[in-house]
């Protein structure tokens, strides 16, 4: 009992000293509680389905940010990892009868392999050349899918895959939990020493090499890590939708990921995740005005990119928080002195 009391007190101390002091952290906690309590407030299967898919795409968008946002290796073919993960999970489940808890990580690992296969030749390229080359890979894979319909299901894809869980609510909780876990891991990676090197590669690759760091190895690592997380998202998608089809490899899927990341703010991880939670449900909501759907979606994008070139979330964060000029700790915008070093914030 004392132990429980100790941990409860510790939790309150952390909430008081670490969370409530910064609006962005409060938003993250509220967002977490919203996801946690969503099934309590709604029994609507359609809403749960939308939010489950949103969580899956949030993992995908964050994985693109890990590669392209942080290391600057612009990947226009991110659907490749997603599709490979989806197909690998579907095939291993249908043909080898692996349960979802094994087939989904397997999808991630196969996507790592795909990352290595495209990473090794592509790393000789930079900028637009790299972007255009990566764009080609999902199209090539789609050709293979159509060429071997016995194995891949051709245009119809592979269907009849096992669900992640029987209940839709359980499905939702598993996917949301994984989204939180995987995005935290990605954020931790970018916050680590490896993340510093990823950042530096984006800034000036030659200077990183002149610092004694093998940039090729790190770029390949970024491809593999990003592939792994996108592959997991693909596996989750296949098991949730119970189908792995060519739509997972479409060019539009690759570009949707880029749009989400740019909208939310690249090189942040939280930006693309937040963007998916705005744009994906928005797109579903706009289904009611089918004729104007794409137009309205485009208008929202243009407005955001015009006025917030760094993305929506970094812009919002800068509005509600200020950085202390002395200790670089963030404070709520209404404060006049830093909460840590007491330096003036005006």
Partner 1 sequence: MGEAFLEVMGLNKQFGGLKAVNDVNFSVAREEILGLIGPNGAGKTTLVRLITGILKADSGSILFKKREITGKKTWDIVNRGIACTFQNMRPFRRLPIIANVMVSCLSPRAMKRGEWVKRIEAKAMDALEFAGISDMALEDASTLSQGDLKRLEVARAIATEPELLILDEPFGGLSPAETELMAKSIHRLHKGGRFGRLHSEGPAMIIIEHKLQQLMKIADRIIVLNFGTIIADGTPVEIVNNSKVIEAYLGEGEI
CB of 65 to partner 1, least distance (A): 15
CB of 128 to partner 1, least distance (A): 21
CB of 309 to partner 1, least distance (A): 14
Using the Cα atoms of residue 259, residue 264, residue 266 and residue 271 in order, give the sign of their dihedral. Answer: negative
Inter-residue contact 250 to 264 (CB < 8 Å) = no
If binding is defined by CB under 8 A, does position 123 make contact with partner 1? no
If binding is defined by CB under 8 A, does position 342 make contact with partner 1? no
Indicate the residue among 17 and 192 with the shorter CB distance to partner 1.
Answer: 192
Residue 284, judged by CB atoms within 10 A of its CB (0-12, 13-18, 19+), counts as middle
If binding is defined by CB under 8 A, does position 42 make contact with partner 1? no
If binding is defined by CB under 8 A, does position 44 make contact with partner 1? no
Inter-residue contact 279 to 260 (CB < 8 Å) = yes
Indicate the residue among 199 and 335 with the shorter CB distance to partner 1.
Answer: 199
CB atoms within 10 A of CB 140: 12
């030749």: which residue's tokens? 121
Indicate the residue among 18 and 204 with the shorter CB distance to partner 1.
Answer: 204
If binding is defined by CB under 8 A, does position 37 make contact with partner 1? no
Inter-residue contact 66 to 78 (CB < 8 Å) = no
Would you list the DSSP string of 209-267? HTTT--HHHHHHHHHHHHHHHHHHHHHHHHHHHTEE-GGGG-HHHHHHHHHHHHHH-SS
- Spatial separation of the C-alpha atoms in residues 176 and 246, rounded to whole Å: 25
Inter-residue contact 224 to 116 (CB < 8 Å) = yes
Indicate the residue among 25 and 199 with the shorter CB distance to partner 1.
Answer: 199
Indicate the residue among 102 and 329 with the shorter CB distance to partner 1.
Answer: 329
CB of 212 to partner 1, least distance (A): 3
Token couple for 180? 């939180």
Vertex 271 angle, CA 43 and 200, to 5°:
150
Q: How many residues bind partner 1 (CB under 8 A)?
A: 19
Indicate the residue among 13 and 211 with the shorter CB distance to partner 1.
Answer: 211
CB of 298 to partner 1, least distance (A): 29
**Contact code string over 316-335 relative to partner 1, x by CB under 8 A:** -----------xx-------
Q: Burial letters for 163-195: b for 16+ Cβ neighbours within 10 Å, e otherwise? A: ebbeebeebbbbbbebbbebbebbbebbeeebb
CB of 215 to partner 1, least distance (A): 7
If binding is defined by CB under 8 A, does position 293 make contact with partner 1? no
CB of 221 to partner 1, least distance (A): 13
Residues 177-236 that bind partner 1 (CB under 8 A): 193, 196-197, 199-200, 203-204, 206-215
CB of 338 to partner 1, least distance (A): 13
Query: Footprint of partner 1 on this chain (CB under 8 A)?
Result: 193, 196-197, 199-200, 203-204, 206-215, 327-328
């Amino acid at each position: 009992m004392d132990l429980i009391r100790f941990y409860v007190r510790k939790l309150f101390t952390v909430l008081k000293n670490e969370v409530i002091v910064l609006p962005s952290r409060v938003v993250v906690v509220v967002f977490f509680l919203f996801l946690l309590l969503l099934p309590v407030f709604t029994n609507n299967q359609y809403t749960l389905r939308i939010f489950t898919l949103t969580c899956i795409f949030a993992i995908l968008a964050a994985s693109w940010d890990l590669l392209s946002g942080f290391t600057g290796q612009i990947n226009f073919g991110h659907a490749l990892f997603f599709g490979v993960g989806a197909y690998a999970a579907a095939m291993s489940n249908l043909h080898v009868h692996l349960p979802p808890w094994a087939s989904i990580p397997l999808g991630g690992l196969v996507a790592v392999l795909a990352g290595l296969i495209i990473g090794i030749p592509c790393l000789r390229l930079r900028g637009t050349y790299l972007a255009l080359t990566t764009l080609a890979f999902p199209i090539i894979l789609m050709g293979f899918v159509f060429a071997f319909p016995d194995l891949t299901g051709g245009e119809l894809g592979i269907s009849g895959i096992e669900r992640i869980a029987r209940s839709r609510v359980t499905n939702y909780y598993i996917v949301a939990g994984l989204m939180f876990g995987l995005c935290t891991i990605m954020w931790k990676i970018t916050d680590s020493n490896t993340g510093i090197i990823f950042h530096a590669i984006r800034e000036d690759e030659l200077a990183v090499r002149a610092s004694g760091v093998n940039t090729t190895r790190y770029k390949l690592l970024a491809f593999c890590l990003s592939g792994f997380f996108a592959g997991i998202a693909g596996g989750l998608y296949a098991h949730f939708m119970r189908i792995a089809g060519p739509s997972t490899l479409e060019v539009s899927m690759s570009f949707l990921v880029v749009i989400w990341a740019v909208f939310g703010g690249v090189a942040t991880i939280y930006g693309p995740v937040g963007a998916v939670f705005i744009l994906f449900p928005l797109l579903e909501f706009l289904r009611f005005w089918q004729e104007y759907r794409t137009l309205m979606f485009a208008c929202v994008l243009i407005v955001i990119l015009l006025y917030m070139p760094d993305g929506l979330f970094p812009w919002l964060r800068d509005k509600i928080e200020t950085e202390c000029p002395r200790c670089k700790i963030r404070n709520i915008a209404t404060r006049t002195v830093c909460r840590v070093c007491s330096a003036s914030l005006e």
